[in-house]
Structure 1
Amino acid sequence: MPPSMPCPSIRIPVELLTQSSFSQFGTVIENPAHSPLPPSQRGPPLEAVSANQGSALKILDVTHPSNLYSLAPSKKPAKAVMNMFVCAPRDLRPHEPSDSMPSSWGDLDFDEDDYGNLDRELFDVQILERHPFTTQTFIPMGLSGNERHTQYLVIVAPTLPASASRRNTGRPPPYPTPEVKKPKSIKDIFARARPSPFTNEAAPPPSQFSRLHPSARPKGPGLPDLKNLRAFVATGNQAVTYGAGTWHAPMAVVGSRPIDFVVSQFANGVGIEDCQEVELLADPDAEEGVVVMVDTEPSGKVQIKAGPGAVKSHL
């Protein structure tokens, strides 16, 4: 059994998955031409070059894989691995009115009756996991970008500071990842002075993580920040990379059929270094736990209720 943490009653609206909205958690891989956002909202264009004798467009650096296993307690090296996950549609429960409010979205009213013929259901988030030393990329196969009957939810949370994690649960975070030990040799201590007696540098050398995309840098050993949990809906045109250490729910397919995902990451075979989990248990006096609100059209298409492209959300 994974360790657990208490959680309040929180209902989370679904957002559109875009690179700008997802940037703190990882990267979204998609052909910019298929982006659901208008061109003015897509951000800077990706670098691209001609390839295959002019018959293809090669879009460069679409995601940022990282291998941080040099920080793992075992020091066991990792290798790149690719697996396939065949993810069946999740069971959703019928919508019930609740006093729970979307966490970081403020005073949004999602329990009004003005929803026409939408099918309103709820997905209970019961567990979150993270891969502290590796990015993890999910690539859907055989799912059209225009598919309306099946999509998938990407549910993520920021990481709390370790001190807040201990204060909120009364115990240390699950499987804490160690901090990098500070150098203690006399030479290393003097080398930190500026200007350094060993070089002509007037500034300290950059962090070994400064070259990484911000989402791919270590997140620390803290528990998930449930009050800022986010839920996005993705289509067959989109793959997603979770940044190293990003708390996320196991892949959640909604709709009528399974989705096959090719999953790329690094792994060293040490269980708690490859994957760490925490179970979310509703407080005894809570009406429910962490819930994602899934509203769908008769065709099965999930409706966006927060952020860019939102419909029927009331500020």
Structure 2
Amino acid sequence: MPTSMPCPSMRIPIELLTQASFFQFGTVIENPAHSQAPPSLQSPRPEAVSANQGTALKFLDVTHMTNLYGLAPSKKPARAVMNMFVCAPRDLRPHEPSESMPSSWGDIDFDEDDDGDGDRQLFDVKILERHPFTSQTFIPMGLSQTDRHTQYLVIVAPTLPASASQRRTGRAPPYPTPGVKKQKSIKDIFARARPSPFTNEATPPPSIFTKLHPSQRPKGPGLPDLKNLRAFVATGNQAVTYGAGTWHAPMAVIGDRPIDFVVVQFANDVRIEDCQEIEIIPDKNADEGMVVSVDTYPSGRVLVKAGSDPLKSKL
């Protein structure tokens, strides 16, 4: 049974999935030529080289695969694994007016009807999970970029500081217990002095994690920051990598049919180190909890209601 966390009533608008908007959470993998983002918001193209006797263009390092299992308490080595998830469309409930508090997009009017002929539905976020020591890449199969009747949502949240997490639940965050620290030797103690007696450096060397992409760095033991929950809609030509430790909802398919995802990650088969879950439960004063507002046009296109002005458009 996962740890639970109380939450207020809050409705989250949908954003277009771009590398610029998803930067802190991970990587969006797509052919730059097919990007839906306007040129001003597109990230620099990855390095490309000619391949296959000149018949292909090879983009290099399109995502960040991270293995942080060396930090795990068990110290059990991890291996690269590739699984397949066949994800059925989620049940959505009809739109109804709500007294939800504003999300980080406080200027969105969720009760304003953008198109009377479209569908206005709601997706309840009931659980979030994270993989603290590995990235996780979801690659959709058989979903066309032009398919407007089946898409998937990418729902993520930043990580709270550990101290704030404990105050919000009255118990320690759901994270592996750190190992007992060894008593430091005299040499270790003196090595922290500045300047160091063992080197000519006046400051300690930078952490190896500072060289990593922000989404690759360890997130710490904190709970999800629900007030800054974000929801994105992806097209069929986009794959997504969640950075190690990124809180996210299980994959949410919306539309007419299932989507097959190939999922690439590392794992060491220690359950709490491979995956941690937290149940999102409305608090006693909340009527519905965390909800993503899913508005679509008759064609099935999802209405993007949040983001920079150029992105407030239909897919």
Structure 2 residue 155 is matched with structure 1 residue 175 = no
Q: Secondary structure of 2:257's partner?
A: coil
Q: Secondary structure of 1:209's partner?
A: helix
| Deviation string, structure 1 residues 234-261 (Cα, Å, up to 9, x no partner) | 0111000001100000000000000000
* Stretch deviating more after TM superposition (280-289 or 87-96): 280-289
Q: Is the 8 A contact 1:178 1:221 kept in 2?
A: no
Letter in 2 for 1:32: P
Letter in 2 for 1:70: G
Give ranges in structure 2 of 5+ residues lacking alignment.
none
**Residue of structure 2 equivalent to 1:265:** 265
Q: Is the 8 A contact 1:12 1:101 kept in 2?
A: no
Q: Is the 8 A contact 1:176 1:222 kept in 2?
A: no
TM value normalised by structure 2: 0.94
Structure 2 residue 269 is matched with structure 1 residue 252 = no
Percent of aligned positions that are identical: 80
Distance 1:181 1:32, change over 3 A: farther
Letter in 2 for 1:35: S
Distance 1:180 1:210, change over 3 A: farther
Distance 1:167 1:254, change over 3 A: same
Letter in 2 for 1:279: E
Distance 1:107 1:39, change over 3 A: closer
- Matches of 2:162 and 2:15, distance apart in 1: 28
**Which residues of 2 match residues 108-187 of structure 1 at below 5 A?**
108-176=108-176, 178=178, 184-187=184-187
**Residue of structure 1 equivalent to 2:28:** 28
- Matches of 1:205 and 1:117, distance apart in 2: 60
**Residue of structure 1 equivalent to 2:307:** 307
**Which residues of 2 match residues 37-52 of structure 1 at below 5 A?**
37-52=37-52
- Matches of 1:242 and 1:165, distance apart in 2: 21
The two structures, once aligned, show a CA RMSD in angstroms of 1.7
* Stretch deviating more after TM superposition (86-95 or 166-175): 166-175
**Which residues of 2 match residues 67-146 of structure 1 at below 5 A?**
67-146=67-146
Q: How far did 1:49 drift?
A: 1.4
Q: How far did 1:72 drift?
A: 0.8
Q: How far did 1:311 drift?
A: 4.2
Letter in 2 for 1:310: K
**Residue of structure 1 equivalent to 2:192:** 192
Distance 1:209 1:117, change over 3 A: same
* Stretch deviating more after TM superposition (233-242 or 40-49): 40-49
Q: Is the 8 A contact 2:8 2:101 kept in 1?
A: no
Letter in 2 for 1:240: V
- Matches of 1:160 and 1:19, distance apart in 2: 22
Give ranges in structure 1 of 5+ residues lacking alignment.
none
| Deviation string, structure 1 residues 70-98 (Cα, Å, up to 9, x no partner) | 11111111001000000000000000111
Q: How far did 1:140 drift?
A: 0.4
Q: Is the 8 A contact 2:13 2:108 kept in 1?
A: no
